[in-house]
Amino acid sequence: MSKEHWDNRFSDKDFVYGESENVFINNISNIIPEHSKVGCFAEGEGRNAVYLAKLGHDITSYDQSMIGLEKTKTLASQNNVDVETVAIDLTKEKVKPNQYDAAIMVFGHVPKKDQPFFLESMISSVKPGGYIIFEIYSEAQLEYQTGGPKSVDLLYDPVDILNWIKNYKCIHFYYGEVERNEGKRHVGLGHVIQAVIMK
């Protein structure tokens, strides 16, 4: 989806996906060592980035939407933390490798042809021994209509994910239903893929 799409999506005065972190990120965040350097990929309005900054991590937030990044700065300021923001099209530009102790991505949906590049850039940005953590909607989410893209091309196949992470230590993998109430765009029971891998 284009920069214009996300600028338009984030242009509402309120936070489209809420101001609280994703439940999975909250549940798994204790795996990240204290005072880590963390990259947040396709982070939108910054709710997860700000949460991790409040835990004492050094955070860089990546998104293509300038409006989303401005809202990240606003949310960070309201919570008395700093988050570095970087405007980038993660389907075309790679993030510098081996710089983070951990990387996270929550509902970063890109076209299928771009998914391998996007995931590989996120994985490569992490130092050996670091963690990559993500939650995304599966193709099955189309049946639920409780959030996420309306096109299967922008959703993820669990077999693809397993193939992309097979060379790493898999700490957690889940494919199934979860309840997500995040702002006004993720409301109710959905179908997700979660993964935690160690590089």
What integer pLDDT is reported at residue 14 of this predicted model? 63
Asked whether the beta carbons of 153 and 124 are under 8 A apart, the reply is no
126-175 residue pLDDT tens? 999 999 999 999 999 999 999 999 999 999 999 999 999 999 999 999 99
172-196 residue pLDDT tens? 999 999 999 887 778 899 999 999 9
What integer pLDDT is reported at residue 4 of this predicted model? 62
60-105 residue pLDDT tens? 999 999 989 999 999 999 999 999 999 999 999 999 999 999 999 9
Alpha carbons 66 and 50: distance in angstroms, whole number: 17
**What does DSSP assign to residue 107?**
S
Question: Which residue range forms the structural domain that includes residue 186?
Answer: 3-198
Distance of CA 183 to the CA centre of its chain: 16
Q: What is the CATH number of the domain that holds 120?
A: 3.40.50.150
What integer pLDDT is reported at residue 17 of this predicted model? 78
What integer pLDDT is reported at residue 185 of this predicted model? 73
Domain count, the chain: 1
pLDDT of 5 over the 70 cut: no
More confident of the two residues 10 and 102: 102
Query: What is residue 10's three-state secondary structure?
Result: coil
